[in-house]
Amino acid sequence: MRTLIKIFSVVVLVVIGGCKSQKPVGLTKIPTMTPIVKTVTVPGPAQPLGGGNPLPGGNPGGGGTGPTIVEIPQDPLNEALGNNFSGNDIEDRDTFLAQMVHFDYDSSSIKPSDLTKVEIVAQHLIQNPTHKLMVEGHCDERGTEDYNISLGERRALAVVDELIRLGINQGRVRTTSYGEKVPMSDGLTEQSFAKNRRGEFVLLKPSN
């Protein structure tokens, strides 16, 4: 009897250990759609200042010696935004670095404490009518890749909705989702996850 109990205990531990190593699945079913695949270049300055290997294919230590190519599926509905984009704008990833917003786990709701950051971005766009904006949505690595792409898009769109409420024309903004592909912090701690659940603002200035 004791032998059977020991064998049962070992089996239970193996099963539990295996479950912990598996990646959790998304909590919400993703609508079926045929994605548009868009290839984007993530420039070196977009990489985090901390250590580790922050970008897929990046160099250890977060040196950011060169751009990283990332392929992400795009929601066709997103084409309704950004109809004033020329494609010739200059990216500025530094101006709104301090206005980066963060999200709770599995949430696309903007935290009340981050609303002031969105207001600062909106005020800049109002004062600079030739400037446009790309809003990037990011997630931590929990959940499936498809789920995180969808969640990142919902986060970016939530930010855009707030910008529109503050008086910004939707033709001046566009969203993109990187899902879990571009982490800000490398690690499996809650602190790292919290840093990666974010929305980033990329200012787009006219080239002439």
Question: Is the domain 2-205 a CATH 1.10.357.10 member?
Answer: no
pLDDT range class, residue 32, cuts 50, 70, 90 = very low
Sequence-separated (6 or more) residues with CB below 8 Å from residue 145: 179, 180
Return mean pLDDT, the chain.
73
pLDDT of 207:
85
pLDDT at 79: 52
Task: Record the tokens describing residue 81, joined without a space.
Answer: 């935004």
Inter-residue contact 170 to 81 (CB < 8 Å) = yes
The string of pLDDT tens digits covering residues 128-184 is 999 999 999 999 999 999 999 999 999 999 999 999 999 999 999 999 999 999 999
Dihedral sign (CA 89, 94, 99, 104): positive
Per domain, the residue ranges of the chain are 2-205
pLDDT at 18 over 50: no
